[in-house]
Structure 1
Amino acid sequence: MPRLILQLPGEICTNTDSGEHLLLAPEDDTELQSVAAWLGTHPVAEFYTDAIRNSIDYVLDGGKTGRFDLLSPEVHPGERASVGAKLEYEVLRTFQLPKTKPLDTHIADAPVDIKATVGANWAIPTEAHCQLCICTQIQLKNNRHRSWLVRAHRSWLYRGKGNKDQKRGLAVHARDHWSMPLYDWTDLPINPLRYLTEEQAAEVLAKRPGQVQRMLKMFHYLEGHIIPRNVFLTVGAGKQDPMRRARQLRDKAAEQGLTVLCGTWTESRDQATARGIALRTGEWIALRENAEEINQEAEAQSG
């Protein structure tokens, strides 16, 4: 990264597009404060966690490819980088924000650009220079993410090396000292298939035997792990209606000593809650417990 001599808040930022203006610290930037206040009425970390997970699932496209790990050699670096582009639309959908131009959206009547990186810095396009940006950093190896709200003053951006569209990275000092953290490092849910050994994954994702038998193996290997819907689509990649196969599992799993619960069903949610497990719609879990005892407890609760 080229050396950058940073100007301080209160000094003049020279922007060839919008002219000279003051470099603003977050506490002096009324638009930034308004956007931060609006975001503060939402569970930002939780929303971003869901949006990032959906973006990763979209890029992996496990239901067609059988892939479940973004760091796998099977995933092209360009696909990993595209998570940020998909995240923009997931954030708009999750926060119910409009898609606007020239930036990505408006929050509290202020234009805002939504940026994300799976690396160390962001590519700030010329239209977002000196504008408000939500900058998200995703660390895939550490399964975590964090975000800042920052005005990407041109004077705080590195010059893009060989970048024809003049995109620039944000200086680390500016990010650390003249931005507003929206939330600290937050865990990203790990795709349960990543807990499998190489041999187990090969069995679960094989073309033979059928889906039901392979899903049963998955439940045995991932006993006690919450398994989201997307995992079943991955295991049934290229097959018809894998979720229907998943719903056929309960009786067969019970024969093998496993109780299968699904958050879509009220009865299952009650049984999971009795064990301190929060299951959301579409989430599954297999427990090696006595099914009769679980049903008795659920009936006692409902009674």
Structure 2
Amino acid sequence: MPRLILLPPGETCANSDAGEHQLLAPADDNELQSVATWLSGRPVAEAYTDAIRNSIDYVLDGGRTGRFDLMSPEVHPGERASVGAKLEYEILRIFELPKSKPLDTLIAGVPVDIKATVGDNWAIPTEAHCQICICTQIQLKKNRHRSWLVRAHRSWLYRGKGNKDQKRGLAVHARDHWSIPLYDWTELPVNPLRFLTDEQVSQVLAKKPGQVRRMLKMFHFLEGHIIPRNVFLTVGAGKQDPMRRARQLRDLAAQEGLTVLCGTWVESRDQAAARGITLRPGEWIALREASDDGTEATTLDLTS
């Protein structure tokens, strides 16, 4: 990044588009405080966790491509960058916010831009200079994310022409000292398929045998892991009705010593809760059944 000499709050921001105005500290910015108050009454970290996961699943399109890892060489860098664009719409949907120009939305009557990056900085467009932004950082390799609320004063953006769209990055000092942290680093759920070895992946995503047998292998390999609905769509990529195949697994899995629970069913949620596990609708888990002598049943060889 080019060198930037920051002007502190109280100085004048020379923005030819917005006109000269005072640089405000967060505590003195009434609009920023209004947005912060609105967000403080909502589970922002949880909402962003769901929104990011949904955005990643959307970009990977596992139900058609069979992809499950955003860091895979099969995923183009441009696709990874597009997670932020999808995230905007997910946040609007989850918080039931309107899509409103000139920025992305209105919160407490205040225009707000929703920005996200899978890198180290955000590309702040000219229309968002000196406006309020929610800036989210997603670290894919560490499976975590965090967000700030900040007024992106032009004087706190890196100088120069920026990229070809004249977007500029936010100075780290401004982010760290003149913003409002919305939540600290929060874990981003990992697609369970990423826990598999290459050999196990090749078996689960193979074209043969059929979906039921491959999903059963997956349950054995991922015993005790919560498996969301999207994983079944990935395993059944290009096939018809993979969720119907998943529902057919319960009896077959029981024959092989596994209890398969699905959070869509009240009975399964109760069984999971009795074991200290919270299952949400659409989530699945396979648990080892105990044999008559109290020991765990033997896992069958599914490699053949």
1:259 and 2:259 aligned: yes
Distance 1:48 1:291, change over 3 A: farther
Which amino acid letter does the alignment assign opposite residue 110 of structure 2? A
How far, CA to CA, are the matches of 2:119 and 2:160 in structure 1? Answer: 15
Q: Which amino acid aligns with 2:138?
A: I
1:9 has 2:1 as partner: no
**Deviation (angstroms), 1:183:** 0.1
Give the TM-score taking structure 1 as reference length: 0.95
Partner of 2:269: 269
5+ residue gaps, structure 2, are 293-304
Separation of aligned partners in 1, 2:6 and 2:170: 11
| Match of residue 299 from structure 2 | none
Which residue in the other structure is 2:53 paired with? 53
1:10-25 alignment, distance < 5 Å:
10-25=10-25
Counterparts in 2 of 1:1-303, with a 5 A limit?
1-159=1-159, 163-290=163-290
Structure 2 Cα separation of the partners of residues 91 and 27 of structure 1: 25
In structure 1, the residue corresponding to 2:20 is in which secondary structure?
A: strand
CA contact (8 A) 1:112 1:132 kept: yes
Decide whether aligned partners of structure 1 residues 229 and 291 sit closer, same or farther in structure 2, where only a CA change above 3 A counts. farther
Secondary structure of the residue that 2:14 maps to in structure 1? Answer: strand
CA distance in 1, matches of 2:163, 2:77: 18
Find the aligned partners of 1:104 and 1:133 in 2 and give their Cα distance. Answer: 9
Q: Would you say the 8 A contact 1:9–1:24 is kept in 2?
A: yes
- Deviation, 1:291, is 9.4
**Cα distance, 1:163 vs structure 2:** 1.8
Distance 1:191 1:104, change over 3 A: same
Q: CA deviation at 1:10?
A: 0.3
Aligned to 1:74, the other structure's residue is in SS state coil
Separation (CA, whole Å) in 1 of partners of 2:236 and 2:91? 28
**Structure 2 residue matching 1:19: 3-state secondary structure:** coil
User: Within 1, Cα distance between the matches of 2:164 and 2:281?
Assistant: 46
In the aligned structure 1, how far is the partner of 2:118 from the partner of 2:227?
Answer: 24
Q: Note if contact 2:162-2:168 (Cα within 8 Å) is conserved in structure 1.
A: no
Which SS does the other structure have where 1:52 is aligned? Answer: helix
- Give per-residue Cα distances to partners, 1:58-80, cap 9 Å, x unaligned: 00000000000000000000000
The TM-score, its normalising length taken from structure 2, stands at 0.95
Q: What is the CA distance between 1:289 and its match in structure 2? A: 1.7
Offset of 1:35 from its aligned partner? 0.3
Q: How far is the alpha carbon of 1:95 from its aligned partner?
A: 0.7
Letter in 2 for 1:53: R
Partner residue in 1 for 2:297: none
Q: Secondary structure of the residue that 1:268 maps to in structure 2? A: helix
Distance 2:137 2:186 in 1: 11
Query: What is the deviation of 1:160?
Result: 5.2
Once residues 13 and 2 of structure 1 are traced to their aligned partners in structure 2, the CA distance between those partners, rounded to angstroms, is: 19
Contact map agreement 1:36 1:149 (CA 8 A) in 2: yes
What residue identity is the alignment partner of 2:105? Answer: T
Percent of counterpart pairs with the same letter? 84
Q: Secondary structure at the match of 1:79?
A: helix
Is the CA contact (8 Å cut-off) linking 1:259 and 1:290 kept in structure 2? no
Tell me the C-alpha RMSD between the 2 structures: 1.1
- C-alpha contact (below 8 Å) 1:128/1:152 kept by paired residues: yes
In 2, Cα distance between the equivalents of 1:125 and 1:289?
56
- 2:3 and 2:198 mapped to 1: Cα distance? 44
Secondary structure of the corresponding residue to residue 138 of structure 1? strand
Deviating above 2 A after TM superposition, structure 1's stretches of 4 or more consecutive aligned residues are 159-162
CA distance in 2, matches of 1:252, 1:113: 50
5+ long unaligned stretches in structure 1 = 293-303
Contact 1:259 1:291 in 2 (8 A): no
Q: More deviation in 163-172 or 121-130?
A: 163-172
Contact 1:160 1:167 (8 Å CA) reproduced: no
